[in-house]
Structure 1
Amino acid sequence: MDIRASRPGFHQVTFRWTEDRPAYDVVVRLISHTDRAYDDGELDKYLMVRDERSWALTLELPSALRTSYQLCPMYGALVRGEVVDDERWTAIMAAGVADPGNPLVHPAGCTYGNPGPASVLELPEAPSRDSWVTPADEHGVVRRCASEDGSVVSVYEPVEPRGLAVMFDGARWTDLRLPVLLDNLIGRGEIAPIRVVMIESIQGLHRHDTLPRPEVFAPFAIGTAERWATDGPTALIGQSLGGLAATFTARLRPDLFDVVVGQSSSFWWDEKELSGPAVIAELDHGPATSQRFFLEAGTTEDLREDNRHLADVLTRRGYDATYREYEGGHDYACWQIGLADALSWAFPRS
């Protein structure tokens, strides 16, 4: 992979793939851009060009971009010039592999539509993720707690915790080495020592069987926060549908949850049991509380309009609310940066 400056605010990135067997096409799947291009019917611009046994593609991308990506060799049929329906797009995502020419890799399970690892592209003006990868002195220990009903949480425990963060999708954050981040932030004095409970599984169910169901996720998150509470503030944190679930649950117990962190929250979700528009309406017209909100969304995400709307509602109603947009998409590579900033905002060392 080659990265070169182009016009102000942009860099040219050349991706390369050397095939071990002939492919019909190779798709560069940038979580930030290619997924949206599929929705817009413009996938051809992310197809590599073949030269003998090598493939390459040069893209001009924003200099502050940070994104996960995979290279997707297609062996069964052409993609170029064809109509790519949902079934075909699912096959393209499933074919993705990490870029062998890039040492920055996300662990398996962090990329929608693909169970394998993904590469991470960081352009020169993108925020650094050094706090996630640089080893630090340990300031907390991690223990995994399993219940008889199949529920599993991992608990990061520092000495004398002065705050609690409860997080959905805990297995992903464990894979992404969240304890390393916490050790670094606590060690550098950027946050107070906090206990972090990462919810890995509720009743042994998959996230798609829990996060859309308030009768499942809300009592568990509330019970978890009550069990592990400290004398300091308590935050409930989620990404995507987890961000909606966190906001919904926190509104049920404003006496328990002081802070809500929602990253790329799915406020577009509108089902009978759980409705993003209904949650926003309740925040707009329901009783005001002293809760604080940290919200963010990516520049390539359609859902940022709903998040902007909620931020406007919170500001108008006098809440302590932070909203920002990052250069990127619906992506753990971006949420890593936002989570570190959210923790520093929610739990400053006094």
Structure 2
Amino acid sequence: MNTPTTRSFRPQPRGSGAATPRVYDHLTLTSSREQLLGLAAQLRERELDYPLFTDAGDGQVFATFLWMETPGAEPASNVVLSANALVDHEDLEACEFEQPAPGIWSITLRVPVDWIASYRITVHRGATPAPWRRESERRAIRLAADAGGVDPLNPLVGASMSGAPVSLVRGPKAPASDFLAEATVDRATPGPSIGGTGGGSIVDSAQHPRMTRHELWDENCQRLRNLWVYQPPTPAEDTPLVFVHDGATWANYLNIRGTLDAAISRGALAPLHAVFIDSTTTQIRGEELPLASGTTRSLAQQFLPWAQRFLPVSTDPARTLITGASYGGLASVLTVLEHPKLFGLALAQSPSLWHTDLRKQLVGLDPAVRMLVQAGCYETEIFNSCQSVLKDIAGSPVRGQVEFQEISGGHDWAWWNVKLLEGLIEFFPRA
């Protein structure tokens, strides 16, 4: 039997992203037409796990996605897979489906067995070029490729930062959790799922008796800011205190209250209080999160004292954690560097260390501080910047205070959601 070919064993850096690990003709070379038609019928009836995974050796799998024509509808002329971090703007063919049989479209990627990602499928009909092929700039291509919707064959749906629904794919050994609550997506959100600030609200947090929204005047940044406060299922004193950036997304779309309730009630996570900080608009987020004088200062001077005054939480920095993703991850690192006597723990997800050179500060990290840094191997610029920083502090005593986890994913809420909970359980296990 012929062996499918792949252009790259693992995506290589290209531009500011990664090249798609495309495998061509996988189904054509491994299945007969009759098998393909039978496969399509089984998938429609949800008789098979999906996406389709087959072993590729060396800790890799072939991951196959399908899209099937609707009888009577205008046939598709182009179908594209918008998997997080794997839309190759320099080689669009690498993320477009092929037709192994009439009415069936497929694409196969070779990925790590623990790959976790969000994705969408976009279909183009007609003789004109597909929208993503009419664009030339990377972001415009990504937005056009992502404008479709969730995979109709995949029941696993998550939320993006804007609340738009996305399909989720988890490899056979991908991180998963029985405690994760179902996302509260906004299926009416139009357009692509990429971007957004999570500023809208489709869920009234007051419906949850222990998740309340508070509007505070941020004295440092001189603006109104929403804070969502989570209290554990059973009243508890002197609990750990967690602050989370991009709070609107967690509160409105990722159902973090349900996740924390489950993990605490079932004995995996110690009872804790959490404060979710609204990052507001994209512009404000970009101005205030990456700078120590922005939200980080607001946290130290106002939000932490406010929480400690009104909540039954510990004032011990060793039980006070700051976390966030992307710019929020950078802000988490800045917080423990600038205010180690207030915040002793940081969980930095995909921290934007390319933005600010923190090597000299990290070498002088307070001995009591502990950091957990997570980065996806497909978010090339961020992953490489994390690796570079870790290399530079490798010979210093503080290296033992910084744990690094490589994730088989991109810049993606799909794994931030899972790994946030894992990190909290690592820092605050149930005694």
Tell me if both proteins adopt one fold, taking TM over 0.5 as the criterion.
yes
> How much does 1:32 deviate?
4.3
- Offset of 1:150 from its aligned partner? 2.4
Checking the alignment, whether the CA contact within 8 Å between 1:16 and 1:57 is kept in structure 2 is no
1:141 alignment counterpart: 210
TM (normalized to structure 2)? Answer: 0.69
Distance, in Å, in 1 between the alignment partners of 2:81 and 2:281 is 37
Deviation at 1:140, TM superposition (A): 7.8
Give 1:91 shift: 4.0
Q: Deviations over 1:312-337 (max 9, x none)?
A: 42773234221111211111111122
Specify the code of the residue in structure 1 equivalent to 2:397: R
Aligned twin of 1:345:
426
1:72 to 101, 108, 122: 122
Deviation, structure 1 residue 21: 4.6
User: 1:22-41 alignment to 2 at 5 Å?
Assistant: 23-34=76-87, 37-38=88-89, 41=90
Please report the RMSD computed on the Cα atoms of aligned residues, expressed in angstroms: 2.9
Shift in alpha-carbon separation, 1:167–1:126, aligned structure 2, 3 A: same
Q: Give the superposition deviation at 1:287.
A: 5.7
1:152 aligns with 2:204: no
Match of 1:330 in 2: 411
Q: Does 1:18 align with 2:69?
A: yes
Shift of 1:171: 1.3
1:89 aligns with 2:141: yes
CA distance in 2, matches of 1:343, 1:334: 14
Whether 1:250 aligns to 2:336 is yes
Query: What corresponds to 1:166 in structure 2?
Result: 243
| Mapped pair 1:321 → 2:402 | yes
Instruction: Answer yes or no: is 1:217 the counterpart of 2:295.
Output: yes
Whole-angstrom CA distance in 2 between matches of 1:134 and 1:16: 24
State, as a whole percentage, how many aligned pairs show the same letter.
25
Alignment-mate amino acid for residue 14 of structure 1 = F
2:105 pairs with 23, 40, 55, which one? Answer: 55
2:6 corresponds in structure 1 to none
Give, in whole Å, the separation in 2 of the partners of 1:200 and 1:155. 11
User: Residue 205 and residue 154 in structure 1: after superposition, are their counterparts in 2 closer, same or farther (change >3 A)?
Assistant: farther
Single out whichever of 48-57 and 237-246 deviates more from structure 2: 48-57
Cα 1:150–1:194 shift into 2, 3 Å: same
Per the alignment, residue 272 of structure 1 pairs with none
Could you tell me how far apart the structure 2 residues matched to 1:329 and 1:132 are?
20
Letter in 1 for 2:226: V
The aligned counterpart of 1:281 is 360
Distance 1:89 1:81, change over 3 A: closer
Structure 2: 5+ residue stretches without partners: 1-49, 184-207, 218-222
Amino acid at match of 1:102: N
Q: Is the 8 A contact 2:80 2:123 kept in 1?
A: yes
Q: Give the drift of 1:52.
A: 5.7
Aligned length: 331
Residue of structure 2 in register with 1:6 after alignment: 55
2: CA distance, partners of 1:101 / 1:3: 11
1:118-170 deviation line (CA, Å, top 9, x unaligned): 100112211223210389xxx98111111254210111012225110101011
Change (3 A) 1:96 1:48: same
Q: Is the 8 A contact 1:140 1:183 kept in 2?
A: no
2:348 counterpart of 1:268: no
Residue by residue over 1:36-76, the C-alpha shift from the partner in whole angstroms, topping out at 9 and shown as x without a partner, is x23xx233111012566653323333221111001122456
* Deviation (angstroms), 1:267: 0.3
Cα distance between partner residues in 1 of 2:268 and 2:178: 14
State yes or no: 1:104 paired with 2:174: no
User: Residues 7-55 of structure 1: CA distance to partner in whole angstroms, max 9, x if unpaired?
Assistant: 2331331321536555542210110422xx23xx233111012566653
Q: Distance in 2 between matches of 1:14 and 1:304?
A: 26
Going from structure 1 to structure 2, the CA distance change for 1:140 and 1:125 (only over 3 Å counts) comes to farther
Over 3 Å counting, the alpha-carbon distance change for 1:225 and 1:202 in structure 2 is farther
For 2:98 and 2:281, how far apart are their aligned partners in 1? 47
- The verdict on how the C-alpha distance between 1:203 and 1:52 changes in structure 2, with shifts beyond 3 A counting, is closer
Is 1:237 the counterpart of 2:314? The answer is: no
Counterpart CA distance in 1 for 2:65 and 2:53 is: 9
One-letter identity of the residue aligned with 1:31: N
Match of 1:45 in 2: 94
Q: 288-297 or 303-312, which moves further after superposition?
A: 303-312
